[in-house]
Structure 1
Amino acid sequence: MKLKSFAIFGTFLCTSRVTLAKSAVLDQTSLIYEFPNNTWVENIAARNNGELLLSIVGTPQLFTIDPSAPSPRQPVLIHEFTDSLDVFGIAEYQTDRFAVLTGNFSFETGDLGLGSWAVWSVDLNGVKISIVNEEPTLSSTPKVAKIADIPPAQILDGLSLLSQKQQTLLIGDLSAGVIYRLDIESGDVATVLNETFTAAVPIPHFAPSGVGGLHVRNGELFFSNVGQQKLFKVPIDEDGTPSGPVTVVASGLSTLDGYDDFTFDCAGNIFVTTGGGNSIEMICRW
């Protein structure tokens, strides 16, 4: 569901809490920046220097912002992908080198942008936010290069590093309901998961949706299914293929809770966005 506005909040995720009510608000929470109405910030990634990367759907731009900077903070444009309409998933695959998903999905027409989806490399080594004439800007120009086109893709959304040693990524296709493996060096693409748990199903006010966010953690692949409103996990081999059964980690608390992107805290608890539920739910470590 498209958000009418988007605000970024900072919070301390390494917490001793074991439960979080849906209506509760975390302590140590502060507003970092609020985007204008009708902005959809799709994905957030943290750099080693503390700056955040932000991808935008409906505008093919990748931004960065420093949450530690004094107010009023302002996002700084890293790169505009001029041949695309959207920027989706972000994942760090080497130190300060990030893979980014782009494509031509259109909310206005519902067109999926078939044939437009690609994975890019954004190298931010040596790049940081600097203040020039009291305005934030980049200290140098990032190196941006295309890694690969993904011809069969429908809507690429989730993205995770599979193996730093082998330089492979896992990519979730929200509309096709599959997960791909991408070899960064060769550009080769293969399907590693395509079954009931990843499949897209109809949801209100949006295209049929399947795999949303995904993360590889301790030999397991965690992935959300927006339409099925569930978070799953499956043990995987080094090539990303399943080595055991898929199991349900959690289901949404309401019919609006289309689980999408998520992250882990230091204790292994999961914080997941709920789309139409307009909330963040905490899934306690099992």
Structure 2
Amino acid sequence: MHFSALTLLAFACGNVVATPTPRSATLPLPARTIFQLNNNTDPNSWFENIALRRNGDLLVTMLQPYASVYSIHQPLSGSPRSSIISIANATGLTGIVETSPDVFTVLAGNYSALATPVPQTMAVWEIDLRGLKPTTRLVTKMPEAGLLNGAAAIPTSSSPAILVTDNGINRVWRVDVKTGKYETAAEVPEMKSVPNATLPLGVNGLKIRNGYMYFSNSNLASIYRLAIDKNGIAVQGAKAELVAKYDTDNIDDFAIDEKGNFWAATNFNNTVAVAKPGSTGFVVAGKSTELTVAGDTALAFGGRTATDKNIVYVTTGGALARPVNGTITEPAKVVAIDRTGFA
């Protein structure tokens, strides 16, 4: 595939507005691999999502070959330690989100191939890290679900609850983490996949901010927002609004920084790209022919400790880059991007 720099479309009075975004940091931003699996033992590994603990440790979900959460201790130390938390009765994990201090919810399922779940195997699990050893609990099975992917905690819900994207059936679910009850939160045309796409994936990443759910559509390489109520359910009559349109064939998960910029993992394009409403988007790390963030799947901002406040953590699903000297592959890894000075 050949991709150009991403372009953001902002709609004002029915017209597209595109203006350069000022930036003071030199691009590409500094990026370094801080954790990587072994090529001999895990050549086809895939990290899918990432969350940060209060102490700055990382929790990284594995989609293949095992249903594991890698807990990466002191990730910026130069010699981070890792431990594994396994989820029972599953072969792959996707989204992960913190629902209360040091308690995380993770999405699980069985897969016959990459992004090909076995029907009626999707489930939601809880990981509790408050004790001496991690404990896991099945929150609920979701046999009606297609492919659970992204997750976000609902900050205004009276009971611990999350929103979950389902890019198997183009929907967002609401799941009560305490009771296990779930219901449809939103289902709009902008969540649908493209039928003739090589990999038909619609709604994917998900974030909640200021009364809106923000979701990415992988096939449309776009980010939308939809108004929600305090329980995370779409407001009646609300329409999805396009907030970012990337000039690539695909995007995966994304993150929103404190200034409202959208940082997107472009996956097969092997780059991290940033856009702000009303501005032109641009690549800040990686190239289509480089392994820097090749196959990137998700991003998370540091800031839970003083040492990582300017760090953007990036997970990759292994890599397949095509430089001029042939084809290079590598196992899944975590990359730290330093955004110091980025405007």
Q: TM-score with structure 1 length normalisation?
A: 0.80
Task: Please name the residue that 1:134 is paired with.
Answer: none
Residue pair 1:57, 1:87 contacting (<8 A) in 2 also = yes
CA distance in 2, matches of 1:112, 1:188: 22
SS at match of 1:275: coil
Q: 1:94 to 1:38 in 2, by over 3 A?
A: same
Residue pair 2:188, 2:240 contacting (<8 A) in 1 also = no
**What is the CA-CA distance between 1:285 and the residue it aligns to?**
5.1
**What is the CA-CA distance between 1:268 and the residue it aligns to?**
2.1
CA distance in 1, matches of 2:127, 2:175: 16
Task: Please name the residue that 1:137 is paired with.
Answer: none
Higher relative contact order structure (alpha carbons within 8 Å, sequence separation ≥ 6): 2
- Please say if 1:148 is aligned against 2:155: no
Give a deviation string over 1:148-207, Cα, whole Å, max 9, x none.
11111111001010145321110000111100011112211111211211112246543x
Task: Please name the residue that 2:160 is paired with.
Answer: 167
Mapping for residues 53-64 of structure 1, pairs under 5 Å: 53-58=59-64, 59-64=66-71
SS at match of 1:201: coil
CA distance in 2, matches of 1:32, 1:100: 23
Residue pair 2:162, 2:176 contacting (<8 A) in 1 also = yes
Task: Please name the residue that 1:250 is paired with.
Answer: 244
Indicate which of 46, 51, 73 corresponds to 2:80: 73
Residue pair 1:105, 1:155 contacting (<8 A) in 2 also = no
Task: Please name the residue that 2:36 is paired with.
Answer: 34
CA distance in 1, matches of 2:230, 2:253: 23
Counterpart of 2:185, as a letter, is V
Residue pair 2:197, 2:219 contacting (<8 A) in 1 also = no
Indicate which of 22, 25, 30 corresponds to 2:28: 25
Residue pair 1:203, 1:209 contacting (<8 A) in 2 also = no
Residue pair 2:58, 2:73 contacting (<8 A) in 1 also = yes
Mapping for residues 86-235 of structure 1, pairs under 5 Å: 86-107=92-113, 111-126=116-131, 140-163=132-155, 165-202=158-195, 204-206=197-199, 208-235=200-227
Residue pair 1:32, 1:67 contacting (<8 A) in 2 also = no
Runs of 5+ unmatched residues, structure 2: 2-19, 279-343
Residue pair 2:58, 2:75 contacting (<8 A) in 1 also = no
What is the root-mean-square deviation in Å for CA atoms of aligned residues? 2.4
Residue pair 2:243, 2:277 contacting (<8 A) in 1 also = no
Indicate which of 43, 50, 55 corresponds to 1:49: 55
Pairs aligned (count): 251
Residue pair 1:42, 1:57 contacting (<8 A) in 2 also = yes
* Identity in percent: 27
Q: 1:249 to 1:182 in 2, by over 3 A?
A: same
Residue pair 1:43, 1:55 contacting (<8 A) in 2 also = yes
Q: List, as ranges, runs of 4+ consecutive aligned residues in structure 1 with deviation greater than 3 Å.
A: 17-20, 67-70, 202-205
